[in-house]
Amino acid sequence: MVDDPEEGMLSWDESVFKNEHVFEIDYVPETFKHREGQTQSLTYALRPAVRGSRPLNVVVRGPPGTGKTTAIQKLFDEVGAQTSEVRTIRVNCQVNATRYSVFSRLFEGTFDYEPPSSGISFKKLFGQIAEKLVEEDRVLVVALDDVNYLFYENEASDTLYSLLRAHEEYPGAKIGVVVVSSDPALDVIDELDSRVQSVFRPEDVYFPIYDQPEIVDILTERVTRGFHDGVISRDVLEYVAELTAESGDLRVGIDLLRRAGLNAEMRASRTVELQDVEDAYETSKYINLTHSLSGLTDTEEALLEVIANHDGEQAGDVYEAFHDRTDLGYTRYSEIVNKLDQLGLIDADYTEVDGRGRSRSLSLSYEKDAVLDRLE
């Protein structure tokens, strides 16, 4: 009997996915593997809050895609399920990169509605949050996720100072801070003002890059929950894990599985093949680039585009092209260059220039087309 050529084909109403949401970057897995030590350290720091006391402050460090945000979210969910006397609020500092915007999110999390869009000072905003905590005798635990963005905007010290000194102005206010940094080059403590260093004294929790066996274990569970049986073979999964390990970012592997599945569906296939993975990797390998670009302002995007078109040129020459486009001054230009450098989007290296001494040359850290395509 001849095999039916349509047997391995999907019909219009079929999918290789059992639950595609499993492959979303913000999905919180039911089981959180290979981070037991870090979770235990975080639990230790937050345990006093459940007993009604101020928790220990924490610095959570590690490269992107190492489980930091998931660990915080799972712990906050557990605290919320255990008691209503602790309010936990996670602030995405890539989106909220100023002290005022951070406290606007804290206001929203405290009152369950947004503050007025204008006409309210920081002092009043802060005061209403603190007074509400004292009135309800609640402990507030704030997670400043991607706090490195507050440092890039020189807002970190003021933000932390306000949080850590709240009890002095509002006796009875109990606030703990979890600072989460994804910038390996950033020394959070050293970069803070001395007035903040004297009161911060955090616990340190480090999240290393997952090794390949750990990646295989984590992705296997995602495959089991997200795909129908038999969609991905062990060989294909091992290949995905290999590419993920090379990138050092678990998010690459998770995104890669989803895109490879979509590629299989485009072929109306019931199985994901190696070619589906290879095709998907051309997009998935840039997930950290996409994440970094998503937080840029229009002006910052404009400078990155100028650098892309003047790759490797001296900072002064790049500034002339940037100024022609935006009319901004050199001081603001220099601030944006430093931020793009800190984000790892560009390399701003000092070189010796004949007749001009030391000068910075600016070049992209990624392929030009990859950057420009994502700026469109």
pLDDT in tens, 45-77: 999 999 999 999 999 999 999 999 999 999 999
Picking from 180, 125, 131, the residue whose alpha carbon sits closest to that of residue 156 is 180
Helix (H, G, I), strand (E, B) or coil at 187: coil
pLDDT at 212 over 90: yes
pLDDT at 356 over 80: no
Whole-number pLDDT of residue 351: 77
pLDDT at 5 over 70: no
The label of the residue with tokens 């492959």 reads: 23
Judge whether 370 and 289 are in contact, CB under 8 Å: yes
Residue 60 phi, psi dihedral angles, 5° rounding: -105, 120
Whole-number pLDDT of residue 12: 64
pLDDT at 222 over 50: yes
Whole-number pLDDT of residue 259: 98
pLDDT at 170 over 80: yes
Judge whether 56 and 48 are in contact, CB under 8 Å: yes
pLDDT at 277 over 80: yes
Average of per-residue pLDDT across 229-243: 97
Judge whether 179 and 144 are in contact, CB under 8 Å: yes
* Residues 136, 159: Cα–Cα separation, whole Å: 23
pLDDT at 119 over 90: no
Task: Give the CATH number of domain 36-206.
Answer: 3.40.50.300
Helix (H, G, I), strand (E, B) or coil at 97: coil
Q: How far is CA 44 from CA 41, 49, 60, 204, in A?
A: 5, 10, 14, 12
Judge whether 45 and 71 are in contact, CB under 8 Å: no
> Which residue ranges make up the annotated binding site?
66-70, 210, 222
The label of the residue with tokens 């290949």 reads: 239
Helix (H, G, I), strand (E, B) or coil at 76: helix
pLDDT at 283 over 50: yes
Judge whether 161 and 152 are in contact, CB under 8 Å: no
Axis crossing angle, helix 234-247 with helix 212-226, rounded to the nearest 10: 130
pLDDT at 1 over 70: no
Buried b (16+ CB within 10 A) or exposed e, 83-121: eeebbbbbbbbbebbbbbbbbbbbbebbeeeebeeeeee
pLDDT at 29 over 50: yes
Whole-number pLDDT of residue 192: 97
Residue 83 phi, psi dihedral angles, 5° rounding: -150, 150
| Ranges of H-type helices in 166-249 | 166-169, 188-191, 194-200, 212-226, 234-247
Q: How confident is the model at residue 216 (pLDDT cuts 50, 70, 90)?
A: very high
Q: How confident is the model at residue 355 (pLDDT cuts 50, 70, 90)?
A: low
Kindly report the number of other CB atoms within 10 A of residue 312's CB atom.
Answer: 12
Q: How far is CA 64 from CA 33, 68, 159, 182, 247, in A?
A: 17, 8, 23, 5, 10
Domains of the chain, by residue range, sit at 36-206, 215-285, 296-375
Picking from 33, 148, 138, the residue whose alpha carbon sits closest to that of residue 94 is 148
Task: Say what percent of the chain tops pLDDT 70.
Answer: 96
Average of per-residue pLDDT across 3-19: 74
Average pLDDT, the chain: 94
Whole-number pLDDT of residue 6: 53
Whole-number pLDDT of residue 350: 82
Annotate 5-63 with DSSP letters as a single string: TTTTBPPTT--SBS-GGGGSTT---SS--S-HHHHHHHHHHHHHHHTTSPPPPEEEE--
pLDDT at 25 over 80: yes
Q: Which CATH number does the domain 296-375 belong to among 1.10.10.10, 3.40.50.1370, 3.30.450.80, 1.20.20.10? A: 1.10.10.10
> Which residue ranges make up the annotated binding site for ATP?
66-70, 210, 222
Residue 17 phi, psi dihedral angles, 5° rounding: -85, 135
Task: Give the CATH number of domain 215-285.
Answer: 1.10.8.60
Sheet of 313-314, strand order: 313-314, 357-364, 346-353
